[in-house]
Amino acid sequence: MPPGRGPRGPTEQHHPPETGGRDEGAPSRPTLPFPAFASQGRRKTRRPRQPPPASLPFAEILSRVPYRSLCRFRCVSKAWRLLCSQPAIERRVPQTLSGFFHTHHSDGGLRFSNLSGGGAPLVDASLPFLRRRYASVKLEQCSSSLLLCRCRESEDDEECDYVVCNPMTGQWTVLPPIVWQDEEDGEPAYFRVVQPFLGLDPAVPSRFVVFSPLVEVCNDVAIYSSETGRWSRNNEWGDNSEYPAFSAECGFLNGMMHFLHLVTEEPIIAVVDLDGDVCGEIALPEGMEEASSGYSSIGYSQGKLHAWYMLPHYYELFVWVLEDYASEKWTLKHTVDVPELFGRESTEEDCDEEDKTYKYEMFAIHPEHNVIFLTNWKEVNLSYDMDSKEVHLMCTSGDFLGGLPYIPSFADLVV
């Protein structure tokens, strides 16, 4: 979290102390607590000193500006930096997509690239607060504002910890072992945390759950809640081998997680609550029924569930939106020839039938705008506005290919 505590409000400090240096012999001028007030100077006729207008709610105003604007305001002066770094303000500023975590092509290290493509990274992707304890830190999942990492105290250590952390505040917690009493003999039964999936409501990023399938017990799922600090067991999945299917293809909407589940016969979207119970299924939009892994995904944007599918070989992209959640009514929102966005024509040679490698992918959708993000897995990442049909190049060097979308949050973890 940016250092420093905010100064006391301007209505409580009518005679701020002098700060900084000045030329010898220069008249002493007080440094104003906030740039919003200008010095009145000395006058021949002294007037009653007017206190700063107490009605101006600075904290209320600043807590409503976008976070990037707040960062720019810090550069105005030391007083502004202190004011804009107050935790009470930072926790309340509206957040949106700020950038992407990704793997650097040269050394395989974790990087963070701002959405704008320029400037210093918003987040230190080395996660120094974890490096103080762990020699090895690997990012497994970025779920909105929190990260799930697999950490080892030494490079050769076979045992690992799974850690949930907030990279903006440096707060983190280690998931405890999965243990509960055996139903037969009452002895404690221990299970390994495997293939964990981090779930949270982006509107309440301070609370989270983690799902871990129990490989020792068919179709049972262990669920960790940050509110209780304990694991619970869900065995309501029964003999339905279609579940669990926790994967990156997930969108959170209406208090539920929506997983794209590509079963053999009929792909669906499984609706799962934070207790791990399957609450329903949503049929995929027409034209997406033949979707296979690697071509399709889902996400949320502007409060609605979206699904997308890229046609093999010629890379025509289809994007649907679930306009009516109750009736499961999908609407085809946009189609685009992806190779054209990268300045080339699509050909059947774009797909190598032997190794099944595909050269284009849509890896994210903006949570607030009709903007999607694509990569050619060679050199270029770009964003595409489905309304204006404008293309913006984000990377042309190959340093940033694909990525995990990240929305910053200053909320304290509930652990």
- DSSP letter at 82 equals H
Q: Which position has the token pair 């296979």?
A: 292
Instruction: Answer with the residue of higher pLDDT: 30 or 407.
Output: 407
More confident residue, 185 or 252: 252
Residues whose CB is less than 8 angstroms from the CB of residue 200 and which lie 6 or more positions away in sequence, other chains included:
143, 144, 145, 146, 207, 208, 209, 252
Assess whether pLDDT exceeds 70 at residue 299.
Answer: yes
pTM above 0.95, yes or no: no
CA of residue 293 relative to chain centroid, distance: 22
- pLDDT confidence tier of residue 399, bands split at 50, 70 and 90: confident
Task: Report how far residue 258's alpha carbon sits from residue 329's, in angstroms, rounded to the nearest whole number.
Answer: 16
Answer whether residue 304 shows pLDDT above 80: yes
Q: Which pLDDT value is given to residue 233?
A: 86
* pLDDT tier for residue 316 given thresholds of 50, 70 and 90: very high
Q: Residue holding tokens 């009514």?
A: 329
Per-residue pLDDT at 360 exceeds 80 = yes
Whether 317 has a pLDDT exceeding 90, the answer reads yes
Mean pLDDT is lowest, of 42-56, 188-202, 380-394, for: 42-56
No. of H helices and E strands in the chain? 6, 27
Domain chopping of the chain, boundaries = 55-87, 95-406
More confident call, 93 vs 373: 373
CATH class name, domain 95-406:
mainly beta
Average pLDDT for the chain: 77
CA distance 203 to 209: 14
DSSP letter string, 303-331: TEEEEEEE-TTT-EEEEEEEEETTTTEEE
Residues 6+ apart with CB under 8 A from 156: none
